[in-house]
Chain A
Amino acid sequence: MKNGQNLLRIQEHHDPAFVQRVEQQSAQKVSQCYQCGNCTASCAFTGDYDFPVNQIMRLIQLGCKETVLGSRAIWLCGQCQACTVRCPCTIDVARVMATLRSMALESGFVADKNLRRFSDEFLRSVSLFGRVFEAGLLAAYKFRSGSVLSDLELAPVLLKKGKLRFVPHAIEGRREVAALVKRFFDAP
């Protein structure tokens, strides 16, 4: 970081196979991006990104695999689809971001461990009950991420309103659902 900007040595990391893999896995022609910037202008999360989304598109074209898969931006994307709607090249930009997240996970780049913890706890809940058990999921996630104190003030509010159920609703087909999950995801 220099003057708030990320300086990159783009010549050192060129991996042409990466461009192809992203295009193949996302089914999107990222190479058509001509840097109009509509995606970044539409993005609600740009302020928290290390690289704005138009730069992510350019970095893919340049084959900067490590920079892209190691970026914070791909984990912060909220999948709001504003970029996708406004891309003049009809690139589904949000889909590219989601694909990058899956690719990062496969290749061992995880810039946001909490998001992964949350996702794992979520799928564990689905495997156990067939549905998400909110109270159990929140407790397990807060415990595992070590953020027990965050949002603590919301708990009494939810309790007073009777919005937290303490008994999970397990469906009859939970074993069938667990088998579907297991094909793609093994709980760590």
Chain B
Amino acid sequence: MPMNDRVAYYPGCSLEGLAVEYDVSTRAVCRALGLSLVELNDWNCCGSSPASLYDPMLSATLAGRNLLLAQEARLDTVMTPCPGCLKALKGAIKTRDAHPQALAQALGRPLSERVHAVSVLQLLYEKVGPGALAQAVRRSFDGLPVVPYYGCLLTRPQAVAGFDDPENPVSMDRLLEAVGCAVADFPFKTECCGATSAMTRSDIVVRLSGRLLDMARRLGARAIIVACPLCQQNLDLRQAQAEKAMGTRFGIPVFYLTQVIGWAVGLPAQDLGLDKLIVPGKGVLPDPEPTEPSES
């Protein structure tokens, strides 16, 4: 896919609410790096885990309707920043390949074999890449120690993700190094943060996310970089709960990958939703003055 090809953009419901900063920063970064996103017109919820609880086919049809929208807009690549949505979209694609008739019947129309889904991490890694990103940096992070946290679904299971390594993914590490971060070897980079238990068993989330925060601190990280709305909420919004439960204070900001890259390529704070973080991130970001101002 050449750089100027258009990519269908599926934000997903979280990015309209609790993860609004992931939406604005994704749009801003893609624009700045020459990736043309076309938001799917009238997209619907992917069904997430509640749909698959009742029937995998319900999940496949809800997610499949969005893939149909892409097909009708003549777009083959659907990008979503949310790993939960990505799982549902890829599940629909798997259903299309295994039971094409059943899915076509449920959707009322057949789904083309060309449509596929990727994460924003995969898009940035494969269509921009660490080399080109390093060239675009105008505010280097200058050795800021960070840990990349991939969570569960970006690279697992491998047969579904088809990207990076399921045990030791490195794509985010490479992109963060390209913008000047000192990326620590994070042994918990794919450990579960507690995921959707946040609703029904927040005690589990607080314990699991607390463990991640504790390891990040022990590695000297000044920030955790994530690519999932649920991971971000569990680590940022619930950080105070983890601090209370563990009797400690972390104060570690949790940025979306797109916010960090956006800052590095010189985008203004308001285009990245930095004010939406609960644990403030301003203190660890490099000087707001870009090193090579464009207007001079």
Contact = CB atoms under 8 A, between A and B. Distances in A.
8 contacts: A44-B192, A45-B204, A80-B153, A92-B157, A105-B53, A132-B45, A134-B17, A153-B240
B47 to A, nearest CB: 7
A80 B150 CA distance: 12
Interface centre among B17, B199, B240 (most CB of A within 10 A): B199
A48 B20 contact: no
B128 to A, nearest CB: 27
B58 A181 contact: yes
A120 B49 CA distance: 11
Nearest to A151: B202
A85 interface: yes
B157 A84 contact: yes
Interface residues of B, number: 51
A164 interface: yes
A38 interface: no
A13 interface: no
B18 A158 contact: yes
B157 A81 contact: yes
Given A123-B50, A123-B51, A169 B16 contact: yes
B71 interface: no
A165 B16 contact: yes
A157 B202 CA distance: 17
Return the 7 tightest CB-CB contacts between A and B, nearest first: A119-B50, A80-B192, A80-B152, A184-B58, A81-B156, A132-B13, A78-B195
A153 B278 CA distance: 13
Contact of B199 (A118, A130, A161, A162): A118
B62 A173 contact: no
B166 interface: yes
Given A76-B197, A78-B194, A126-B47, A85 B166 contact: yes
Interface string A149-188: 0110110011001111100010111101100110111000
Interface string B195-226: 11101111010001000000000000000000
Contacts of A48: 201, 204
A36 interface: no
B200 A171 contact: no
B202 A150 contact: yes
A119 B62 contact: no
B163 to A, nearest CB: 14
B62 to A, nearest CB: 6
A79 B49 contact: yes
A180 B48 contact: no
Interface of A: 44-45, 48, 76, 78-82, 84-85, 92, 94, 98, 101-102, 105, 112, 114-115, 118-120, 122-123, 125-126, 130-132, 134-135, 141, 145, 150-151, 153-154, 157-158, 161-165, 169, 171-174, 176-177, 180-181, 183-185
B106 interface: yes
A48 B51 CA distance: 24
B43 interface: yes
A135 B51 CA distance: 19
Given A45-B204, A85-B156, A85-B167, A78 B13 contact: no
B223 to A, nearest CB: 18
A112 B196 CA distance: 14
Nearest to A122: B50
B54 A102 contact: yes
Given A85-B156, A134-B17, A79 B195 contact: yes
A163 B18 CA distance: 5
Contact of B58 (A101, A105, A176, A180): A180
A173 B44 contact: yes
B237 interface: yes
Nearest to A171: B42
B44 A171 contact: yes
B204 A126 contact: no
B292 interface: no
Interface in B179-200: 190-192, 194-197, 199-200
A134 B191 contact: no
B65 interface: yes
B137 to A, nearest CB: 28
